[in-house]
Structure 1
Amino acid sequence: MLRNYFKIAWRTLSKQRGLTFINIVGLATGLACCLLITLYVLDELSYDRYNTKADRIYRIHTDIKFGGNDMHFAVSPDPVGQTLKQDYPQVEQFVRLHQRGTWLVKRAGSTNILREDNIHFADSTLFDVFTLPLIAGDPKRALAGPNLVVISESASKRHFGDQNPIGQTLLFNNRQAFKVTGVMRDMPANSHFRSNFFLSMASDDYTWGQWLSNNHHTYIVLREGTDYRAFERNFDAVIEKYVGPQAYDMIGATLEQFRKAGNRYRFWLIPLTDIHLYSKQQVELEPNSDIQYVYIFSAVALFILLIACINFMNLATARSANRAKEVGVRKVLGSERQQLIGQFMAESVLMTVLAMALALVLVGMALPFFNTLAAKTLSARNLLSPYLLPVLIILPIVVGLLAGSYPAFFLSSFRPVSVLKGRIDVSFRSSRLRSGLVVFQFMMSVVLMVGTLIVYRQISYIQTKNLGFSREQVLTVNDVYAIGKQAETFKQEVLRLPGVVSGSISGYLPTPSSRSDNAFFPEGEINQTKAVNMQSWGVDHDYINTMGMQMAEGRNFSREFGSDSSALILNETAAKLFGGRNIIGKRITQYADPEAKTTKTYTVIGVVRNFHFESLRQNIGALSMVLSPNTGAASFRLSTTNIPFLVRQIEGIWRHIAPGQPFAYSFLANDFENMYRAEQRIGTIALTFAVLAILIACLGLFGLATFMAEQRTKEIGVRKVLGASVTSIIALMSRDFLRLVLIAILIATPIAWWAMRQWLQDFAYKIDIEWWIFALAGVLAIGIALLTVSFQSIKAALMNPVKSLRAE
């Protein structure tokens, strides 16, 4: 019986090639989109789960509200991990990471210097916490001492080729030697951080024991059965015992007084497997994703699949007139309803199996493009994983049964007498369900269009907003510390080049990569009520001019004033926190060393207009600038259109002054835009799937229009004989569809408004959701529907009425 079902199904599908093609292509496209998004979502959810102790590893976060600043850090004080392990038996192990970013690295005795990123100092307990298999070396002793380093497999190949690196020496920044004690496998891509070099923490030049400084990413492993929420209650006692005394020494206030003043200091834990999707802290090891995008794309996958299934149901029921007599004859000959349902279900399942086969081909073809869009390394082999392989087998059957259920029950319910007498009404207007499904299709299409338009408008707003500095044509040369005292010589040589307007040497740039928070007080008023917590940047005399910043009050640093070595420039936010009025000349004190209680006092000489030095998700915080040597980078403002030639000239000067040192540069505009690379990717992916969703919906609409034209052939012929124009006939045939699209637009508008309003809440600086966005999406939806329907409408309207009536 089952074999007979599929045999008849194959014959039926072969006869109706046009309908079959539309259905299979629509289903295949929907399934392919669903599979691609499933791969993306599963990859997002898999982050850090390769660690064998992943369910027991937690990172300690620090939230501080103090001095007019509300900070949420992914880092914590250096002693907190060791203290928790000593004082609480629930803590099995801990490890700290101190991120060092990018350094110059070379093998001892070699002249080949490479610029390496992803460098971290780590405790010797690193391999007790994270699952990082060593190819060579002892994990217990690999980092148990000063000047030791564990390198990744790929880093080993870059520096040592096929040689055994164990026992060899690497030089970092041309001065500090580290002995290679281990080689680990490259960290998986689905990790919230990746490192190529782990330097022993004992080698870090750091003042230890600072409970008021947050510079280390600290992870703890809790013992089996420990509730981390319950364990967090211990943090109040830890803060009281260890943080309180240092805070009192610094600001002269107890923790109770500190809290009563509206301040806050707290630790909390986040599970390792939640970091990638749920952590939105400052000073992350690497940019994270957002669980919102997982929800959004999961919904998009479901909607696209539903749209494809709706196409099938609509077309199957719409074509029922052509099979009504078949059903009637079968029933007269003794077929039971269950047999007819089985027949139609078999046709549906066969179609979805064919669609799944085509979908797998489409996924294989689209995956390289999708990986580029999503910045992923997904492979078609992932579809054969133990999680997805059963889905590939079950999904076409489930989809086939769901998509074919209504047509099967609808067609099998026809009464033989009524069918054979031609009394079945299957016109377009007779099916409320079919109309509702069309409305649903276009409602989701409009929501996707509105969402895509708003995402792109927000990204455009970010890219064009006045940031308070000029990021265009600013070239940044990195690793200037490599040339030591010749940094100023390099700057002066570059300034002599035509096309170079100004230059500055400072590692602090108006991007989130630069951060140094300190507490400042009005002179003689070191207490918590007067404190201002702000970033402190070391810059040179030319920094403000080179960055294109504007002074709001006072003056810039000047070489004519020797006293500027103790001068301070505030941004407008900081000036306001210090009282705002009469700020010029005010003396402000900073703790140079909180542990030693040494202070330094500065005189305010100017106020720079606020500029964005962090993401536009955050409000502009307080910031100060002091004259202080910082050779992290050299920035140059250019005024030439021949940028490549000028860059080659600058590189030539670098090669002359620093032979053998790698020349690395970037443009400030690109560095700023990189902060929003994730949003740009999401916008592009959303646009792609929105277009595909609309395409799938249009396939169904095209099929319905074809059916409608066939059903109304006689009516159109009569109307033309009676004098109806082509335009009136096209309008007649399009009216029913346009009514449904308009209803879809009305339903989609509030849904899209609410969803995008929620998404924009993450940005402190955002666009307004304007009415014309919804109007444009509506016009696009109507235009697309008209274009889809018009082909068949025009074809029907232009048909010779004599032929139409004769055929009838």
Structure 2
Amino acid sequence: MLTNYLKIAWRTLLKQRGFTFINIFGLAVGLACCMLIMLYVLDELSYDRYNEKADRIYRVNSEILFGGNNMHFAVSPDPMGPTLKKDYPQVEQFVRLHQRGTWLVRKAGESTNLRESDITFADSTLFDVFTLPLISGDPKTALREPNTVVISESAAKRHFGDQNPMGQSLLFDNNRTFKVSGVMRDMPKNAHFQSNFFLTMLNDDYPWGQWLSNNHHTYILLKPGTNPETFAKNLDAVVRKYVGPQAMQMLNLSMDDFRKAGNHIYYWLIPLTKIHLHSRQQIELAPNGDIQYVYIFSAVALFILLIACINFMNLATARSANRAKEVGVRKVMGSERQQLIGQFMTESILTTTLAMLLAVFMVGLTLPAFNAIAAKGLAINQLFSPYYLPVLIVLPVIVGLLAGSYPALFLSSFQPIKVLKGKINVSFRSAGLRSGLVVFQFMMSVILIVGTIIVYRQITFIQTKNVGFNRDHVLTVNDVYAIGKQAETFRQEVLRLPGVVTGSVSGYLPTPSSRGDNTFFAEGQIDMNKGVSMQNWPVDYNYIKTMGMQLVQGRDFSKEFGADSSGIIINESALKILGLKDPIGKRIWTFDDPQLKNRKMYTIIGIVKNFHFESLRQNIGGLSMVLSPNSGAASFRISSNDLPALIKQIEAKWKQVAPGQPFSYQFMDQSFDEMYRAEQRVGTIALTFAVLAVLIACLGLFGLAAFMAEQRTKEIGVRKVLGASVGSIVTLLSKDFLKLVAISILIASPIAWYAMNQWLNDFAYKIDIEWWMFAVAGLVAVGIALLTVSFQSVKAALTNPVKSLRSE
């Protein structure tokens, strides 16, 4: 029986080639989109689950409201981990990570450095908490001795080639030697942080014991059976027992008074497996994903698949008139309804199976481009793994049953007597279900179009917004600290080059860079309402000029004023929180040592206009600048028509003062855009899927329009004989579809507004959703639908009426 079903199904598909192509191609595109997004979503959901103890690992996050800032940190005080392990038996182990970013590294005895990123100090308990298999070395002792480092397999190949790296030495930043005590396998890509070098925490130059400083990523491993929600309640006791005394020493206030003033210090736990998608804290180890995008893309995949299935249902039921007599004859010959349903379901599943094969081929072709857009490393062979292969087998059956169920039930329900007498009427205008499905298709398409417009408008807004500094034409040279005291010499040499306007040496930049927080108070008081917790940046005399920032009061740092070493420039946000009137010349102070004993007094010499030094997702907080050496990077404002030549000249100057040191640079506008790379990826993916959704919907509309024209051949012929024009016939055939598209626009608009308003709420600075965005999306949908339908309408309208009437 099944063989017979397959033979008939195959012959039917070959007989109706145009119909078959539309169905298979539309379903293939839908399935390919679904598979791509499935790979993406499952990869996002897999982060950190490779850890054998992932379900018991938690990170301690901090939330601090003080000094006008509400700070949400992925870090906590350095004593947090050891204290929790000591005071609470529920904690099996802890590990702290202190990421130090990019350093210059070379094998001992060699002269050329390599620029290595993701260098991290870690406790010796690292391998007790995380699953990081070692190829060489003992995980229990690898980081217990001073001056030891565990490196990744790829780092070992870069620095030692085929040699055994164990026991050999690496020089970090030209002055710190570490012995290789372990080689680990490269960390999986689906980890929320990456590191090629784990240096022992014993060598981290840090003033330990600071409960009021948050600089370490602290992970705890709870013992089996421990309830994390119950355990987290102990963190408030930690605040009172340990944080409170240091707060009293600094502020001369109890924790109760501190909280009564509207401030708070709060610690909480986040599960390891939720960090990548659910954590948007400051000072993350690496940029995280967003569960919102997982939901969005999953919904898009479902919508596109539904649109493709709807096409199948629409076209199958629309062409029911062509198969009505077949059904009638079969029933007269003794076929039962179950057999007819089996026949039509076999055709449906065969169609979806062919579509699946084509979809896998499409995924193979498009996966490299998708990886480039989504910043992933997905591979086509993942689809054939034991995890995915059952989905590939089951999915076409499910889709075939879903898409073919209604047509099979509809066609098998025909009464043979009525069919053979020609009394079955399946005209387009009476097909309420098909109309509803067309509305649904275009509703989804309009939502995707509106979403794409708004995402791109927000990205454009970010890229063109006046952020308070001029990020254009600023070239930043990295790792200037490597040349030590010659940093100023390098700056002076570059300034002599034609095309270089000005230059500054400081690693604190208004794009992703190093950060430092201090709490400042007005002279003579500690006032909870006037203290300000703000960024504190060491800069040089040329910093504000080079960055194109604006002073609204006072002056810039100047060599003409010797007292500027104790001068400070604050931004407008800091001034507002301090509440100072006539601030120029007023003094503010902060603690100048980790033990909170010595105070450092500064005189306000200038107020800089607020500028965005964090993402536009956040409001502008307080910021200060002080005159102090910091050679993390050198930034130059340039004006040249031949940038490649100028960069080569700057590189030559670098090699003169830094032989053997790699020359690394980037433009500041590119660094700024890096903060919004996720949004740019979402915009590109949204645009791609919006186009595909519209394409699939139009394929179905094209097929329906062809069927409609075929069904009304006689009517068109009569109208032309009676004098109807081509334009009137095209209007007659198109208006039904345009009504459906108009209804879809009305339904989609409020849904799209709500969804995109929720997305925009993540940004402190955002665009307004305006009416014209919906109008553009509607016009695009109407235009595409009109073009699709008009092709068949015009073709029908131009047909010779004699042929039309004769064909009837």
Pair in the same fold by TM > 0.5: yes
Listed one character per residue, the Cα deviations across residues 407-459 of structure 1 (whole Å, up to 9, x for unaligned) are 00100111111111111111111111000000000000000000000000000
Distance apart, 1:112 and its partner CA: 2.3
2:427 corresponds to 1:442:
no
Task: Supply the distance in 2 between the matched residues of 1:225 and 1:689 (Cα, whole angstroms).
Answer: 44
Tell me the equivalent position of 2:565.
565
What secondary structure does 2:515 align onto?
coil
Letter of the 1:274 counterpart: K
Tell me the equivalent position of 2:538.
538
Q: How does 1:621-632 map to 2 (within 5 A)?
A: 621-632=621-632
What secondary structure does 2:697 align onto?
helix
Listed one character per residue, the Cα deviations across residues 360-409 of structure 1 (whole Å, up to 9, x for unaligned) are 11111111111111010001111123332111111111110110000001
2:177 corresponds to 1:177:
yes
Tell me the equivalent position of 1:584.
584
* 8 Å contact kept, 1:252–1:528: no
Residues 44 and 373 of structure 1: CA distance in aligned 2, closer, same or farther (over 3 Å): same
Tell me the equivalent position of 2:602.
602
Distance apart, 1:580 and its partner CA: 4.2
What secondary structure does 1:106 align onto?
strand
Tell me the equivalent position of 1:333.
333
Letter of the 1:60 counterpart: V
What secondary structure does 2:100 align onto?
strand
What secondary structure does 2:504 align onto?
strand
2:282 corresponds to 1:282:
yes
Q: How does 1:143-222 map to 2 (within 5 A)?
A: 143-222=143-222
Letter of the 2:452 counterpart: T
Distance apart, 1:227 and its partner CA: 1.0
Deviates more, 1:379-388 or 1:344-353: 379-388
Task: Supply the distance in 1 between the matched residues of 2:651 and 2:512 (Cα, whole angstroms).
Answer: 26
Task: Supply the distance in 2 between the matched residues of 1:802 and 1:529 (Cα, whole angstroms).
Answer: 90
Tell me the equivalent position of 2:69.
69
Listed one character per residue, the Cα deviations across residues 206-264 of structure 1 (whole Å, up to 9, x for unaligned) are 11000000000000000111111110100111111110000000000000000000001
Task: Supply the distance in 2 between the matched residues of 1:181 and 1:12 (Cα, whole angstroms).
Answer: 69
Letter of the 2:330 counterpart: R
* 8 Å contact kept, 2:507–2:513: no
Tell me the equivalent position of 2:755.
755
* 8 Å contact kept, 1:148–1:178: yes
What secondary structure does 2:93 align onto?
strand
Task: Supply the distance in 2 between the matched residues of 1:307 and 1:744 (Cα, whole angstroms).
Answer: 13
Distance apart, 1:594 and its partner CA: 4.2
* 8 Å contact kept, 2:461–2:766: yes
2:771 corresponds to 1:779:
no
* 8 Å contact kept, 1:252–1:527: no
Letter of the 1:291 counterpart: I
2:432 corresponds to 1:412:
no
* 8 Å contact kept, 1:477–1:633: yes
Residues 416 and 6 of structure 1: CA distance in aligned 2, closer, same or farther (over 3 Å): same
Letter of the 2:616 counterpart: L
Tell me the equivalent position of 1:574.
574
Tell me the equivalent position of 1:802.
802
Distance apart, 1:313 and its partner CA: 0.2
2:87 corresponds to 1:87:
yes
What secondary structure does 1:47 align onto?
coil
Task: Supply the distance in 2 between the matched residues of 1:511 and 1:370 (Cα, whole angstroms).
Answer: 28
Distance apart, 1:512 and its partner CA: 3.6
2:59 corresponds to 1:41:
no
* 8 Å contact kept, 1:428–1:708: yes
Provide structure 1 residue ranges, at least 5 long, that are not aligned to the other structure.
Answer: none
Tell me the equivalent position of 2:102.
102
Taking only aligned residues, the RMSD between alpha carbons, in angstroms, comes to 0.8
What secondary structure does 2:592 align onto?
strand
* 8 Å contact kept, 2:250–2:596: no
Task: Supply the distance in 2 between the matched residues of 1:584 and 1:575 (Cα, whole angstroms).
Answer: 11
Residues 596 and 738 of structure 1: CA distance in aligned 2, closer, same or farther (over 3 Å): closer
What secondary structure does 2:537 align onto?
strand
Tell me the equivalent position of 1:130.
130
Tell me the equivalent position of 1:376.
376
Tell me the equivalent position of 2:549.
549
Distance apart, 1:527 and its partner CA: 4.4
* 8 Å contact kept, 2:733–2:793: yes
Listed one character per residue, the Cα deviations across residues 517-536 of structure 1 (whole Å, up to 9, x for unaligned) are 11111112134343211110
Tell me the equivalent position of 2:258.
258
Listed one character per residue, the Cα deviations across residues 257-304 of structure 1 (whole Å, up to 9, x for unaligned) are 000000010110000000000001000000111000000000000000
Task: Supply the distance in 1 between the matched residues of 2:511 and 2:245 (Cα, whole angstroms).
Answer: 34
Tell me the equivalent position of 2:722.
722
* 8 Å contact kept, 2:567–2:603: yes
Identity %: 74
Tell me the equivalent position of 1:295.
295
Letter of the 1:439 counterpart: V
Deviates more, 1:518-527 or 1:369-378: 518-527
Distance apart, 1:596 and its partner CA: 4.5
Any runs of at least 4 consecutive aligned residues in structure 1 with deviations exceeding 6 A, and if so which?
none
Task: Supply the distance in 1 between the matched residues of 2:98 and 2:110 (Cα, whole angstroms).
Answer: 27
* 8 Å contact kept, 1:250–1:594: no
What secondary structure does 2:793 align onto?
helix
Tell me the equivalent position of 2:403.
403
What secondary structure does 2:281 align onto?
coil
Listed one character per residue, the Cα deviations across residues 127-159 of structure 1 (whole Å, up to 9, x for unaligned) are 000000001111111100211100000000000
Deviates more, 1:381-390 or 1:232-241: 381-390
Letter of the 1:311 counterpart: N
What secondary structure does 1:101 align onto?
coil
Task: Supply the distance in 2 between the matched residues of 1:80 and 1:86 (Cα, whole angstroms).
Answer: 10
* Number of aligned residue pairs: 808
Distance apart, 1:641 and its partner CA: 2.0
Task: Supply the distance in 2 between the matched residues of 1:51 and 1:513 (Cα, whole angstroms).
Answer: 30
* 8 Å contact kept, 1:726–1:798: yes
Provide structure 2 residue ranges, at least 5 long, that are not aligned to the other structure.
Answer: none
Task: Supply the distance in 2 between the matched residues of 1:224 and 1:357 (Cα, whole angstroms).
Answer: 46
What secondary structure does 2:233 align onto?
helix
Distance apart, 1:513 and its partner CA: 2.4
Task: Supply the distance in 2 between the matched residues of 1:192 and 1:724 (Cα, whole angstroms).
Answer: 68
Letter of the 1:156 counterpart: A
Distance apart, 1:581 and its partner CA: 2.0
Task: Supply the distance in 2 between the matched residues of 1:765 and 1:515 (Cα, whole angstroms).
Answer: 22
Task: Supply the distance in 2 between the matched residues of 1:732 and 1:530 (Cα, whole angstroms).
Answer: 72
2:733 corresponds to 1:737:
no
What secondary structure does 1:593 align onto?
coil
Task: Supply the distance in 2 between the matched residues of 1:606 and 1:596 (Cα, whole angstroms).
Answer: 27
Q: How does 1:354-365 map to 2 (within 5 A)?
A: 354-365=354-365
Tell me the equivalent position of 2:456.
456
What secondary structure does 1:149 align onto?
strand
Letter of the 1:368 counterpart: P
Tell me the equivalent position of 2:16.
16
Task: Supply the distance in 1 between the matched residues of 2:237 and 2:460 (Cα, whole angstroms).
Answer: 48
Distance apart, 1:751 and its partner CA: 0.2
* 8 Å contact kept, 1:253–1:528: no
Tell me the equivalent position of 2:710.
710
What secondary structure does 2:403 align onto?
helix
Tell me the equivalent position of 2:353.
353
Listed one character per residue, the Cα deviations across residues 108-133 of structure 1 (whole Å, up to 9, x for unaligned) are 00122100001000000000000000
Task: Supply the distance in 2 between the matched residues of 1:463 and 1:346 (Cα, whole angstroms).
Answer: 53
* 8 Å contact kept, 2:207–2:594: no
Alignment TM-score, normalising by the size of structure 2:
0.99
Tell me the equivalent position of 1:523.
523
Tell me the equivalent position of 1:243.
243
Distance apart, 1:511 and its partner CA: 1.6
Alignment TM-score, normalising by the size of structure 1:
0.99
What secondary structure does 1:564 align onto?
helix
Task: Supply the distance in 1 between the matched residues of 2:630 and 2:133 (Cα, whole angstroms).
Answer: 38
Distance apart, 1:671 and its partner CA: 0.2
2:682 corresponds to 1:668:
no
* 8 Å contact kept, 2:38–2:298: yes
2:151 corresponds to 1:121:
no
What secondary structure does 1:72 align onto?
strand
Task: Supply the distance in 2 between the matched residues of 1:19 and 1:623 (Cα, whole angstroms).
Answer: 65
* 8 Å contact kept, 1:253–1:527: no
